[in-house]
């Protein structure tokens, strides 16, 4: 799981913010009080950060070394659950329709990245090619919705 965070349909939502969007289990030793990641200041910056981390994750899985992407998978969970939804909520430029599409895109991306992270925590092995296709489509959707 995303560093101890539950999947959206298990009590949290990628479109929520705050504590209700980030249900935790004690399954993993992870300090949620000291988030040492930088927060994007815009949806465009968030897209770039997501894309950059995705390249690291993709390279690790293609090298058959998914543990090398563990940090990025954790950070992407926070980005998709907290940072991007907060930016989306405060955005004054996007239409309501575009915001709804982005919320759905964030959920789609979270679910895909969750499959990769879940296998690092004893979950079922993910078919990287299938998950990679979903992530690539989600990133294209994101890119097309943010000016």
Torsion of CA 117, 111, 83, 22, to 10 degrees: -80
pLDDT digits (tens, 9 = 90+) for 21-72: 333 333 333 443 444 568 899 999 999 999 999 999 999 999 999 999 999 9
pTM over 0.85: no
* Per-residue pLDDT at 38: 82
pLDDT at 72: 94
Q: How far apart are CA 52 and CA 72, in angstroms?
A: 10
Contact by Cβ (8 Å): 34, 60: no
């Amino acid at each position: 799981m995303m560093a101890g965070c539950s999947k959206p349909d298990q009590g949290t939502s990628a479109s929520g913010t705050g504590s209700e969007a980030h249900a935790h289990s004690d399954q993993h030793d992870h300090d949620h009080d000291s988030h040492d990641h930088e927060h994007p200041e815009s949806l465009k910056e968030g897209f770039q950060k997501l894309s950059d981390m995705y390249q690291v994750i993709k390279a690790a899985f293609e090298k058959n070394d998914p543990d090398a992407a563990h940090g990025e998978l954790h950070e992407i969970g926070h980005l998709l659950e907290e940072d991007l939804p907060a930016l989306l909520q405060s955005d004054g430029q996007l239409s309501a329709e575009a915001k709804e599409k982005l919320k759905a895109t964030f959920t789609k991306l979270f679910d895909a990245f969750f499959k990769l992270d879940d296998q690092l925590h004893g979950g079922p092995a993910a078919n990287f090619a299938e998950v990679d296709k979903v992530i690539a489509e989600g990133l294209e959707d994101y890119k097309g919705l943010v000016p």
